[in-house]
């Protein structure tokens, strides 16, 4: 197998609004098995995945609550911008495996990535 590439998944949509978010998590999970390094960048409403969710009540797959801890176990770096937390995280403590960074570090992360796979909010 060739050289591994630095891959960044960007998840911006709400984890409760559309299955696109869950599919992005699953894709990051799949890449983490065969590629290193993989980074998951949570932007916008995507930071809400760090809050407790009741998937059954929202019509989401129950596995959605298991994917983020599994990503951590597989060595995926999970990053969130401090400004995004201020906007959407509702004053909850951040899990210890989530790296909180400033917006300059987010830009550096995106510019240094060899592959960026976005799961962004659709224009309304």
Angle between helix 19-34 and helix 64-73 axes, rounded to 10 deg: 20
Query: Which of the listed CATH numbers 3.40.1260.10, 1.20.200.10, 3.40.50.300, 3.30.70.1520 matches domain 8-119?
Result: 3.40.1260.10
**Could you state, in order of their start, the residue ranges of all structural domains in the chain?**
8-119
Residue 3 is predicted with a pLDDT of 58
pTM above 0.95, yes or no: no
CA trace torsion 86, 88, 94, 99 (10° rounding): -70
Q: Provide CB contacts within 8 A for 119, sequence distance 6+.
A: 9, 10, 11, 12, 13, 20, 21, 23, 24, 46
> Are 52 and 93 contacting, i.e. CB atoms less than 8 angstroms apart?
no
Q: Provide CB contacts within 8 A for 17, sequence distance 6+.
A: 45
Question: What are the two backbone dihedrals, phi and then psi, of residue 11, each rounded to the nearest 5 degrees?
Answer: -115, 115
Instruction: Kindly state the average pLDDT of the residues 94-119.
Output: 93
Q: Kindly report, residue by residue over 37-46, the tens digit of the pLDDT.
A: 999 999 988 8
């Amino acid at each position: 197998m060739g050289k591994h590439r630095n891959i960044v998944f960007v998840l911006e949509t709400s984890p409760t609004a559309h299955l696109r978010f869950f599919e992005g998590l699953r894709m990051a999970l799949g890449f983490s098995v065969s590629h290193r390094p993989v980074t998951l960048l949570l932007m916008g409403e995507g930071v809400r995945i760090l809050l407790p969710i009741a998937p059954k009540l929202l019509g989401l797959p129950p596995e959605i609550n298991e994917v983020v801890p599994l990503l951590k176990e597989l060595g995926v770096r999970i990053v969130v911008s401090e400004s995004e937390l201020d906007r959407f995280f509702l004053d909850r403590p951040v899990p210890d495996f989530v790296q909180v960074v400033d917006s300059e570090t987010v830009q550096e992360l995106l510019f240094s990535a060899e592959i960026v796979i976005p799961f962004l909010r659709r224009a309304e």
